[in-house]
Amino acid sequence: MPNPEKTEAVRDKVQAARPLDAFDRKILGELAVDAGLSYAELGNRAGLSAPAVHERVKRLRATGRIRGTVAMLDGPATGKPFLAFVHVDTSGGSKSRTFKALSELPELEEIHSVAGDTCTLLKVRCASSRALEGLLARLYAIPGVKGTRSYVVLSTYLERTPQAGITEALEEEHYEPSTSS
Amino acid sequence: MPNPEKTEAVRDKVQAARPLDAFDRKILGELAVDAGLSYAELGNRAGLSAPAVHERVKRLRATGRIRGTVAMLDGPATGKPFLAFVHVDTSGGSKSRTFKALSELPELEEIHSVAGDTCTLLKVRCASSRALEGLLARLYAIPGVKGTRSYVVLSTYLERTPQAGITEALEEEHYEPSTSS
DNA sequence: CTTGAAAGCTCTGTAAG
DNA sequence: CTTACAGAGCTTTCAAG
């Protein structure tokens, strides 16, 4: 038989960290493509009313699912046609301070610490190869930087923000523990 | 929030458009961080009136400098805590069709063709290492895929959209071609 | 470019079912 | 969750300097 007290007590925590349902996923997916949609239109696409959608979006923002709404700038059209990924090998040195300093440069779009045959991975978008040369010079001036490998992007076929994952395509390959057989 | 019309094939208009001035750069920089700003606030920060800012933003959209406004979703908070970059070595095969097929997967955020010791670079965000395993399995099923190298992201220190480049830091190292004309 | 004003739409909250 | 009703604020356009 059910336990009322326990169910009540757990409910609040569940609400606070409620997993995304199909509506949330749909909303996130739409906003990830176009954040300029009105709540009315968003409601139509998600199958909800405008107030309901508004409430959900507010919650998605408050819980950090939506980090913010930003303008997607076109690199080439804004004077930065040169895109490259730079692998940086380091040994010692203060990563935090280095990363903070790098963040100041508008040319840097991403800084990741990665596992593999390299330590740090940078995404750089700048005006020219000369600008990249300047950036690399700065990198080598940082204590602990042993070497870099640059991958210059020739053409970009896809570039978008995280999708909400309406279709859990890759999840379908999940294994089934043991039940049926 | 404005209701932007879908801009389709406006990429060629960029050439005919005037180069960006300091006002445009400031506006782009602000919108790249927060596209939800009102034109009044945007005007304050840029040092222009609201109608003037509105006119410029409209032009920046029409000329393709602003590709769109999107919601930035938090990967971990939306059920995709696993981020990785995958280098793919290929030989032959139809890239266009392969890339198109890959674009359908919500886990894929970026697809670049690069120069260097690898051919294609992917940015993948998914639910788990198992999901990445599933993606790699699909990759190897594609004719022409010789091998992959995955760089699993341990932590992300910076991740943002292209900045307008208010400060042309790395540009200072530009050479001066010659004269006016 | 500016200021000012007017019209329209969206957001946002409230209320009731 | 839904529909409905308002007030407030912002967008958008127009006019005139």
> How confident is chain B (181 residues) per 10-residue block, as mean pLDDT?
40 65 95 96 94 96 96 95 96 85 94 91 97 95 92 97 66 41 35
Q: Judge whether B12 is closer than 8 Å to chain A, CB to CB.
A: no
Q: Please state the rounded mean pLDDT for residues A48-53.
A: 95
Q: Is A99 helix (H, G, I), strand (E, B) or coil?
A: helix
- pLDDT per position as a tens digit, A75-130: 999 999 999 999 999 887 788 888 999 999 999 999 999 998 789 999 999 999 99
Answer yes or no: are the C-beta atoms of B171 and A129 closer than 8 Å.
no
Give the angle subtended at the CA of B79 by the CAs of B73 and B83, to the nearest 5°: 75
Bases along strand D below 7 A from a protein CB: 1-4, 9-15
| Residue B55 CB in 7 A reach of strand C | yes
pLDDT for the residue A165: 66
The reply to whether B1 has its C-beta less than 7 Å from any atom of strand C is: yes
Query: What's the confidence (pLDDT) of residue A94?
Result: 83
CB atoms within 10 A of CB A91: 10
Taking an 8 Å cut-off on Cβ atoms, the answer to whether B170 and A110 are in contact is: no
* pLDDT confidence band for A170 (50 / 70 / 90): very low
Task: Characterise B93 by phi-psi region: left (phi > 0), alpha (psi -120 to 50), beta (else).
Answer: left
**Picking from A33-47, A138-152, B153-167, which range would have the lowest pLDDT averaged per residue?**
B153-167
B37 touches strand C (CB under 7 A): no
Query: What's the pLDDT score for residue B13?
Result: 58
Q: Is B141 left (phi over 0), alpha (psi -120 to 50) or beta?
A: alpha
Whole-model pTM?
Answer: 0.85
Write down the pLDDT at residue B177: 43
pLDDT at residue number B165: 66
Q: What is the pLDDT of residue A30?
A: 96
Choose among A71, A75, A152: nearest Cβ to B114: A152
Q: For the residues A133-151, what does the mean pLDDT come to?
A: 93
Is A157 in Cβ contact with B33 (below 8 Å)?
A: no
B51 C-beta less than 7 Å away from strand C: yes
User: Given an 8 Å threshold on Cβ–Cβ distance, is A121 in contact with B151?
Assistant: yes
Average pLDDT of chain A is 84
Concatenating the DSSP letter of every residue in B74-142 gives: -TGGGT--EEEEEEEEE-SS-HHHHHHHHHTSTTEEEEEEEESS-SEEEEEEES-HHHHHHHHHHHHHS
pLDDT tens for each residue of B69-91:
999 999 999 999 999 999 999 88
Q: Which letter does DSSP use for residue A72 in this model?
A: E
Q: Comparing C-alpha atoms, which of B145, B138, B100 is closest to residue B118? A: B145
pLDDT on residue B14:
61
* Residue A41 half-sphere exposure toward CB, CA atoms < 13 A: 10
Q: Residue B32 to residues A65, A124, B157: CA-CA distances in angstroms?
A: 19, 16, 18
Report chain C positions within 7 A of protein CB atoms: 1-5, 9-15
Q: State how far the Cα of A51 lies from the Cα of A45, in Å rounded to an integer.
A: 14
Q: Where are the beta strands (DSSP E) in chain A?
A: 66-73, 82-90, 108-115, 120-126, 145-159
Q: Do B70 and A33 touch (CB under 8 A)?
A: yes
- Map tokens 């690399």 to a residue: A136
Is the model more confident about A15 or about B137?
B137
Higher-pLDDT residue of B89, A175: B89
